[in-house]
Amino acid sequence: MLVMMLLAGKTFLFRAITRYMREKGVGFHAAGFMGSCAATMGENATTIHSLFSLPIFKSEKDADSHKLQPVAGAALTEMQELFKDTRVLFLDEMSTISPHLLAFIDRRCQSAKQNELPFGGLSVRIMVTGVDMENTTDANVE
């Protein structure tokens, strides 16, 4: 987990790390909860919902009652191809990622990597700021 104080250069550090990973041929994906976050992360970054084909919920209560439908057919093949060479997943804005959304991401990674290990065996790196840490809540996920 990368924890930095607000305006401490998180974007600069993230871009330096990913530039190094590209040079070394390490496959990765980067996603943030909102488009504005993904935009500051640089090229190839996207929103979590777009990367994992996840529904957008109006509230946490909606997410609680929603059962994530598995990806199948052409969509599954496309996701598996997208993640074929991926070894690392960066998630930004952790305070905006609910426990249910994190569980959905876990299941999508398992499907994409065809691996039942947590997050399909990907190395997941979570980026937060000191402000994010104050807002993070704890909850159980089934």
Question: At the topology level of CATH, where does 2-134 sit?
Answer: Rossmann fold (3.40.50)
Low-confidence ranges of the chain (pLDDT < 50): 1, 4-6, 130-142
Res 110: pLDDT: 96
> Length of the chain, please?
142
Q: Say how far apart CA 60 and CA 16 lie, in whole Å.
A: 34
Res 36: pLDDT: 66
Task: Collapse the DSSP code of 121 into the 3-class scheme (helix H, G, I; strand E, B; otherwise coil) and give the result.
Answer: helix
Transcribe 38-106 into DSSP letters. Answer: HHHH-TTEEEHHHHHTPPPPSSHHHHHHPPPPPP-HHHHHHHHHHTTTEEEEEEE-GGGS-HHHHHHHH
Res 7: pLDDT: 52
What is the per-residue pLDDT across 46-87, written as a single tens digit (0 to 9) for each? 888 899 988 776 666 665 556 777 889 999 999 999 999 999
Cβ-in-10-Å burial (0-12, 13-18, 19+) of 4 comes to middle
Which token pair is 65? 């009652």
Q: Say how far apart CA 140 and CA 136 lie, in whole Å.
A: 13
Res 37: pLDDT: 66
- DSSP-derived letter for residue 29 is E
Nearest to 27 by CA among 121, 134, 126, 127: 121
